[in-house]
Amino acid sequence: MNSVTCHLAISLDGFVAGPRQSLENPLGEGGMRLHEWAFATDTWRAQQGMSGGEHNSDAEVIAEVTRDVGAYVMGRKMFGGGDGAWDEAWTGWWGPEPPYHAPVFVLTHRPRDPLPMRGGTTFTFVTDGIESALAQARRAAGDKDVVIAGGASAVQQYLAAGLLDELRLHIVPIVLGAGERLLENVGDPVLEPVGVTASPTVTHVKYRVVHGRRGPEASGGRGAASATGGRG
């Protein structure tokens, strides 16, 4: 069976976006700094249709986490366009050819017809929860992996529900002070570190999510939190 993975850039104080996020500034104040290490690599630039960039250990990590991906799941906030009824003119942040080149399942409470884009990406809007979105993504991915692309709320729901197999954190040595935290409302999962790659700008830590075992807090109580809803 395919694996369900996630990789996110995160600050030293645990934020994946800065404060005061908006349509004009979706990563919040200072949030773009979390991704500067990636923008400098040749791998990331090639995935965006650009040339240049450095080939280094960070570039190799990006190549690894994007290899053998058959489908993605993301929250509505990551797809963008604001809350409430859909603006049908909104087709995402990425222009006419998004970098996914695979089916993408968007968690939302608002129905919308599938949105095919150039380059093999089709956005399918799922209104009946995280498990339905994951089941559809697994079918679309075949033998390849499914990536929970974000945002934080979507990742929290999958981690709390025990549906995530692997979590990679790209830890950037900055302090944002406020914003959107990743590891909140996730219960007490057991995360086993299985790999570390460090560079001058970021430390990449790969965790295996250990299923069927709870951390000390959960084992002393009445169980980990479960996920509800479908927006993140």
Is the model's pLDDT at 127 over the cut of 50?
yes
How many Å apart are CA 205 and CA 168, to the nearest integer? 6
Higher-confidence position of 1 and 146 = 146
The answer to whether position 42 is within a domain reads no
- At 69, the pLDDT band (50, 70, 90 cuts) reads very high
The answer to whether position 204 is within a domain reads yes
Predicted TM-score (pTM) of the model is: 0.88
The predicted pLDDT at position 232 comes to 57
The answer to whether position 74 is within a domain reads yes
The answer to whether position 118 is within a domain reads yes
The predicted pLDDT at position 82 comes to 84
How many Å apart are CA 178 and CA 172, to the nearest integer? 15
Instruction: State the CATH number of the domain containing residue 140.
Output: 3.40.430.10
Structural domain total, the chain: 1
Residue among 173, 167, 128, 131 at smallest CA distance from 150:
167
- Range(s) of the domain holding residue 179: 4-16+68-83+96-219
- Write out pLDDT tens, residues 70-79: 999 999 999 9
Is the model's pLDDT at 112 over the cut of 80?
yes
What is the token pair recorded at 132? 């339905």
How many Å apart are CA 106 and CA 208, to the nearest integer? 25
How many Å apart are CA 180 and CA 164, to the nearest integer? 20
Q: In Å, how far are 33, 170, 177, 198 from 61, measured between CA atoms?
A: 18, 10, 27, 10
The answer to whether position 23 is within a domain reads no
Q: Would you say 77 and 151 are in contact if contact means Cβ atoms under 8 Å apart?
A: yes
The answer to whether position 176 is within a domain reads yes
Q: Give the β-pairing of 4-11 and 145-150.
A: parallel
Long-range contacts (CB closer than 8 Å, 24 or more residues apart) made by 29-32: 29/179, 30/174, 30/176, 30/179, 31/176, 31/179
Phi then psi for residue 146, to 5 deg, are: -110, 130
What one-character-per-residue DSSP string does 158-182 give? HHHTT---EEEEEEES----SSEES
Is the model's pLDDT at 120 over the cut of 50?
yes
The answer to whether position 122 is within a domain reads yes
Is the model's pLDDT at 222 over the cut of 50?
no
Report the pLDDT averaged over residues 8-28: 93
Residue 201, CB half-sphere, CA atoms under 13 Å: how many? 15
Q: Would you say 108 and 125 are in contact if contact means Cβ atoms under 8 Å apart?
A: yes
The answer to whether position 46 is within a domain reads no
